[in-house]
Amino acid sequence: MTLITAKQVPHATWYPLTYFTTSGEDVQDANSTSFHNAAEVYEVVERVGELKKSWPKDWGDWDENSIGNQKIKGKQRSGLFTFSILQAS
């Protein structure tokens, strides 16, 4: 894991923490207890693709551990949150 420091070269257009929102609705798969939101999936795929295309050379090579993704889900109305966090390096 790489620690983020003030010495890290900034990205030309992206902030260290960038948030996006989507609309759409959670849909439950017929054979699962899990839900998915196609709008969220599309947004993540598009944004990761944009970031990958503009990855600064100073940050090193791009790989599957290069970024982190955090999604807030669950009972947001009641103030209870579940976080899914991928390790960033």
pLDDT (tens digit per residue) in 50-68: 989 999 998 889 888 888 7
- Is the pLDDT confidence value at 80 over 70? no
pLDDT (tens digit per residue) in 10-22: 888 888 778 888 8
CA distances (Å), origin 49, targets 7, 52, 66: 25, 5, 12
Residue 86 confidence (pLDDT): 47
Q: Is residue 35 part of a domain?
A: yes
* Residue 4 pLDDT level (bands cut at 50, 70, 90): low
Rounded CA-CA distance 69/64 in Å is 12
Q: Is residue 11 part of a domain?
A: no
- Number of domains the chain contains: 1
Q: Is residue 19 part of a domain?
A: no
Q: Is residue 76 part of a domain?
A: yes
User: In the predicted model, what is the mean pLDDT of the chain?
Assistant: 75
Domain that holds residue 75: 27-85
- In single-letter form, the type of residue at position 71 comes to K
Residue 54 confidence (pLDDT): 92
Q: Is residue 18 part of a domain?
A: no
